[in-house]
Structure 1
Amino acid sequence: MNTPEKPTQKSALRRVVAASIIGSTLEWYDFFLYATASALVLGPVFFPNSDPAVGTLLSFATFGVGFAARPIGSVIFGNIGDRYGRRPALVATLVLMGVSTAMIGLVPGYATIGIAAPILLVLLRLAQGMGAGAELAGATIFAAEYAPPHRRGLFGSIATIGTYSGTVLSSAIFALFSMMPEEAFLSWGWRIPFLLSVVVIIVGIYIRMRLEETPEFKEVERTAGTSKRPLADMFRYEWRSVLKVIGIVAGAFTATYAYQTYSLSYMKTELGITGTIGTLSVAVAAFIAMFVVPLMGSLSDRVGRRPILIAGCVISALFAFPFFLLINTGQDALIIAAMIGGIGIGVPTILGVQGVLLSELFSTSNRFTGFSVSRELGSIVFAGATPFVAASLVSAADGQSWPVSLYVIGACLITLITGIVMKEPAPAGAEAAPRETATPQR
């Protein structure tokens, strides 16, 4: 009698996997597109009266502004996700990011509307950051809450695959348009990749509106009832998990934005490397990461989350100096090798387990808020500030990269210590988090 249910369950899981990967890919295409543009084009377009180095710092500052908005978005959409359901929150973040990114492509440059140009850029970046503040959390939670308990690590890594496929897509498209003559590229060519974000809204809404709510959220609704104040409950009952999350994200955030964002500017301003090698090498590394992430997520179902987290921290810390040594050679093959080591192997080893680990640290009733808010608190310090800090360190060191390597190592040590002292959220392959609510009955 139960046989007919199996195809239905498999079909639901396929839809969840597709929605998590495709939706996350499209959203993070938006986000990393801005990261690439801030390193290569936003300075001269929106801050043309500045010294080139100052213009780069200012464009990175607008990049960091998005991270300041992410905790706000995580609170807003986390509240929606924990009170009204995971699906409406995911649709809302999709629309917000898609619209704001497309509008960035329509903002006139400084030469046309003066100071209003960077102001509009900052406002749209704030809106984009608010959407990003809950996207990865929502996509990860959606997949993990649908997953069989013994495969939660694998399913929890699916959304992270989307972040890398989004990186591949944004890097490839931006590299394609950057082949244009510089004058045309700075005038209008860079805008087209942003305008293509309209596709995000159309495709993403179609995919996500076809999903049903997760079984775990439905069960909480049916039994204990959804939380009326998830943010307050998170800080009151699960504040230790918040601190753990901030420590867990430090290494991956810092390494990602030092390698994936700042290094592109470093190659251009300090080494005089122009052309597409920077964005091409990021795309190659991100493509490899798409396979490393699910491998690590699946492995964590067998050996546990902490061993994978610790291994990723060690790899990333050990590669911090070799990364810039390879970049400094100026040779295309070695630049690609640097990106593969940093973005393709080290960081995705951490990220392969980070999503499911963060979701397992919080109870079902506070999970969306707990995951997204605590992660974005860490992003302010260890992600948004990294390109700006890295550029400042290199400037203070007369163009030398070694301070950035030390900065990455320091952040990885924070995550390493967190991984060593924390307990495994649950035995590998077992139920990871309370299936009801870990907080007192409201």
Structure 2
Amino acid sequence: MTNTEPKPTKTALRRVVAASIVGSTLEWYDFFLYATASALVLGPVFFPTTDPAVGTLLSFATFGVGFAARPIGSIIFGAIGDRLGRKPALVATLVLMGVSTALIGLVPGYASIGILAPIALVVLRLLQGLGAGAELAGATIFAAEYAPRHRRGLFGSIATIGTYSGTVLSSVIFALFAMMPEATFMAWGWRIPFLLSILVIAVGIYVRLRLEETPEFKRVERADKTTKAPLLDMFRYEWRSVLLVLGIVAAPFTATYAYQTYSLSYMDTELGVSGATGTLAVAIAAFLAMFVVPLMGALSDKVGRRPILIAGTLISALFAFPFFMLLNTGNRNLIILAMIGGIGIGVPTILGVQGVLLSELFSTANRFTGFSVSREIGSILFAGATPFVAASLVAASGGQSWPVSLYVIGACVITLITGIVMKEPGSLSEPAAAEPTRPTHQDPA
């Protein structure tokens, strides 16, 4: 930002922090709430069949639909964020995600409206995915563009805290309502956690509508340098940054979905460990990660982004074998220790700097689209594929976990190489992967 622009007040910075946390908390509250409900209730409520396992598989399929919609959402809201401003995109994603989540809690079951029930569920899950595809990127960018230069790493990590607070919140709330009598819970109790997202929407909208547009976007807008084709410009001028993002997200995406998603299925099918044990371990690790993330973000303001990225990647790689060794004991305390090492320390060390890194890699004009679209491409390559690949590797090895550990290490090697070869990012106005001179997008006089 220029020297003539007033610095954001402490009140404005507090609003930015609140807006970032509320939005990302809602995103991941929705994500893990739906994942849990898919396993426990959505099958019999919306996909009744003679085989309960088939109903559960169909409900998991709707869970995957949300992932398919995320890249589309990143393109749509990335364009809004780069052309019209960060604030309109942030408000739109929050409303879309929150309303669609709440409506899931209102859709009648198959017994009431027949085939319309699963159709409505799929449509709402698609809308959820559209909003989620750009929410984290928008919240991170907003905080980073507002932050004082010497605290940008800390502010850039704020939205990531929400990924863990949302996990903890959804786990606790769903577990509380699951204590109801089974018949009551299946009849209507499961709907309340979905309806509670209305409260988060109300708070989030109130906070976000009171925000001013970011100083960085105002600067670009005044200079008439906002892009008219952000997706095209991203691939034309900043494709190197896209490649760097794919390298950066390889380790955290793969480790997260190996440790936090696949391992729950592995413990159930291969070890006979109850889902409650795994869920408790994930919740404890996620709670710890809420503190590790901002700590690493703040530390990156002092030592740089690359050292933190490299350190977190090394921790994740070195812990890949011990993680499953601890799980294989079947001991509850050792399983919790495994989750703490993988989810509570290794991955959040990387995620503590990932947000600000992805923000600093793109120019202001293309930042929203660059961040959100390239990250979602990475989610397809690494996040979405990991549970399936891990399950296939374990099946092929006769129930052994070591191939999954090697798979995680392979992804960590990609991120490690990326961290070594990339340059330390500069200011938000001067991205690390400098783009060639591009024509200024101006409407003809």
Partner of 1:204: 204
- Counterpart of 2:3 in structure 1 is none
2:371 aligned residue: 371
**CA 1:9 to 1:356, structure 2 compared with 1: closer, same or farther past 3 Å?**
same
Matches of 1:370 and 1:258, distance apart in 2: 26
Corresponding residue number in structure 2 for 1:401 = 401
Of 431, 434, 438, 2:430 maps to 434
Letter in 2 for 1:141: I
Aligned residue for 1:276, secondary structure, equals helix
Letter in 1 for 2:348: P
Alignment of 1:152-171 (within 5 A): 152-171=152-171
Change (3 A) 1:397 1:288: same
- Identical columns (%): 82
Of stretches 352-361 and 265-274 in structure 1, the one that deviates more from structure 2 is 265-274
CA contact (8 A) 2:20 2:139 kept: yes
Conservation of the 8 A alpha-carbon contact between 2:145 and 2:428: no
Match of 2:239 in 1: 239
Confirm or deny: 8 A CA contact 2:264 2:275 kept in the other structure: no
Equivalences for residues 302-317 of structure 1 within 5 A? 302-317=302-317
1:152–1:72 CA distance, 2 compared to 1 (3 A) = same
Query: Partners in 1 of 2:389 and 2:112 — Cα distance?
Result: 30
Whether the 8 Å contact between 2:23 and 2:135 is mirrored in structure 1 is no
Q: Match for residue 149 of structure 1? A: 149
Q: Residue 93 of structure 2 corresponds to which residue in structure 1?
A: 93
What amino acid is aligned across from residue 289 of structure 1 in structure 2? A
For residues 152 and 316 of structure 1, the distance between their equivalents in structure 2, rounded to whole angstroms, comes to: 25
After TM superposition, give the deviation of residue 432 of structure 1 in Å: 4.2
**1:206 counterpart letter in structure 2:** Y
Kindly state the Cα deviation for residue 280 of structure 1 after the two structures are TM-superposed: 2.1
Q: Which residue of 1 aligns with 2:419?
A: 419
Distance 1:187 1:197, change over 3 A: same
Matches within 5 A, 1:9-408: 9-43=9-43, 45-47=45-47, 49=49, 58-109=58-109, 116-274=116-274, 276-408=276-408
Q: Number of aligned residue pairs: give it.
A: 434
CA contact (8 A) 1:172 1:279 kept: no
CA deviations over 1:391-417 (Å, ceiling 9, x no partner): 444444444433333332222222122
- 1:241 maps to a residue whose letter is S
Question: Where does structure 2 lack aligned partners over 5 or more consecutive residues?
Answer: 1-5
Partners of 2:22 and 2:200 within 8 A in 1: no
Which digits, 9 at most, give the CA deviation of each residue in 1:99-156, with x for residues without a partner?
A: 1112222344556656554443332222111111100100000000011112111111
Q: Give yes or no for contact 2:364–2:428 (8 Å, CA) kept in 1.
A: no
Give the unaligned 5+ runs of structure 1. none
Paired with 2:269 and 2:187, the residues of 1 have a C-alpha distance of 20
The alpha carbon displacement at 1:275 in A equals: 5.8
After TM superposition, give the deviation of residue 47 of structure 1 in Å: 5.0
Measured at CA, do residues 37 and 312 of structure 1 come closer, stay the same or move farther in structure 2, by a change above 3 Å?
farther
Deviation sequence 1:282-310 (CA, Å, 0-9, x none)? 22111111111111111111221111111
Work out whether residues 66 and 125 of structure 2, in 8 Å CA contact, stay in contact via their aligned partners in 1: yes
**DSSP-derived class of the 1:440 partner:** coil
Question: After superposition, what is the alpha-carbon deviation per residue over 1:40-81, rounded to whole angstroms, capped at 9, x for unaligned?
Answer: 444555555486766655544433321211110011001110
In the aligned structure 1, how far is the partner of 2:270 from the partner of 2:27?
31
Query: CA contact under 8 A between 1:39 and 1:264: conserved in structure 2?
Result: no
| Aligned-pair CA distance for 1:255 | 1.4
| CA spacing shift, 1:34–1:386, aligned 2, 3 Å | farther
TM-score (norm 1): 0.90
**Larger deviation, residues 87-96 vs 111-120:** 111-120
| Residues in 2 aligned to 1:263 and 1:310: alpha-carbon distance in whole angstroms | 24
TM-score, normalisation: structure 2: 0.90
What SS is found at the alignment partner of 2:9?
helix
Aligned partner of residue 123 in structure 1, secondary structure = helix
Which piece of structure 1 moves more, 121-130 or 397-406?
397-406
SS in 2 for 1:93: helix
Q: 1:123 to 1:347 in 2, by over 3 A?
A: same
Separation in 2, partners of 1:390, 1:114: 36
- Kindly provide the amino acid, as one letter, of the partner of residue 441 in structure 1: T
